[in-house]
Amino acid sequence: MLLATLLATSLVGAIAVTPPDSTLPAAMDYLVYVASESADRVALVRFGPGGGRVEEEVPVGMNLTDPDGPHGLGVSPDGRHWYVSTAHGSPYGFLYKYDTRTNTNAGLVMLGHFPASLQLSPDGELAYVVNFNLHGDMVPSSVSVVATGEMVEVARIETCTMPHGSRLTTDGARHYSTCMMDDMLVEIDTRTFAVSRHFRLTRGAERGMTGAPSAAAVGGHGAHAMPAHGTAAPAAADVTCSPTWAVPSPDGERVWVACNKSSEIVEIATRDWSLVRRWAAGPGVYNLGVTHDGRRLIGTNKRGQSVSVYDAASGKELARIPTRRKVVHGVAVSPDDRYAFISVEGIGSEPGTVEVIDLQSLASVAQVDVGQQAGGIDFLRSEPVR
């Protein structure tokens, strides 16, 4: 069986070592995992006073002839396991579980079409994975909920068309994802595994609503009759936001949404489910991260070859930092809020890259080459320098 390849021994790599920098912290190393979609591997990257390097590489997938496409990645809060979604199944993708001590496979479960972004619940018992459905019909898709102990899908919650992004509030009570083709933000109540609210993000028609979107509000792009509450899906030409990511503030009072098409960030108040503001962002803003103190918002600019850092309170862009390569993807913030680790896909035959942004100096301080099309990224731990 091809499943035997899941248990392949991890490969040790040391790609593009960044030279030491005397401005870096003197005592701690930081470790992150990053998935490379075109290379079918996950890299463990170490960064610290000695610079940045690939500590280890792990092959992911079971298909011997075509890419499995590791896309989303998440580390359990206790740091004992990491999880990666493979998007290119036939026709379904998988969620894999790995042991962080050995980087060996510890389980898998089949999910929907093109499983993509994911996050673990605060207790690590559940993984929330969006089924992006990139290659399927333009119909409403879903968020899969997986019990991580048994690696069993316990719920599949229909949301809207081409969902992307998967982020929970710090208390784990609410889950947020976006739908690119419906200009929509969706909130899931994690106690009931049901959509509790949704928000239309189309410029000039912004509106927050309770409950799940109606059939006429998703998947049809205006092809269905207008429902009673007036929330028909926008026609394709009327999709102004095309949201790709949503991240809640640490206190749960705000949700920020990346509008990839219009290069804007939309801020929504969760208490009364209302629009606070929208502001111009970098070209093709794609993924968002927020510091644990809630003071800084980080946006990756997929069409802009850069990373933007914003003051979360005012929305002011504090810096726009160029990256070495194009197609900037994901962001993971270190628990001490000192660094943002950015995955960059690269183009053509280029390798992917992990760029390290110092959130104090607002500058890139390291770049580490990894496998092609680097995407999903998450923080593992910090530790004293060895």
Q: For each successive 10 residues of the chain (386 residues), what is the average pLDDT?
A: 37 44 67 96 96 97 82 97 89 94 97 95 98 84 97 97 96 97 97 98 95 74 35 65 98 98 98 98 98 98 97 98 98 98 96 98 98 98 92
Complete DSSP assignment for 214-234: PGGGSSSTT-SPPPTTS-PPP
Q: What is the pTM of this model?
A: 0.89
Task: Give 153: exposed, middle or buried? Use CB within 10 Å, 0-12, 13-18, 19+.
Answer: middle
Instruction: Judge if the upstream peptide bond of residue 91 is cis by omega within 30 degrees of 0.
Output: yes
Nearest to 332 by CA among 32, 24, 16: 32
Count Cβ neighbours within 10 Å for each residue of 360-378 and write b for 16 or more, e otherwise: eeeebbbbbbbbbbbbbbb
pLDDT at 13: 39
pLDDT at 26: 52
* DSSP-derived secondary structure letter, 304: T
pLDDT at 303: 96
pLDDT at 233: 57
pLDDT at 222: 35
Give CATH for domain 2-23+30-384: 2.130.10.10
Complete DSSP assignment for 250-264: TTSSEEEEEETTTTE
Residue corresponding to tokens 């990839």: 260
Sign (positive or negative) of CA dihedral 218, 164, 97, 290? negative
366 phi and psi angles, rounded to 5 deg: -165, 150
pLDDT at 64: 67
Residue corresponding to tokens 């108040």: 269
3-state secondary structure of 139: coil
359 phi and psi angles, rounded to 5 deg: -80, 0
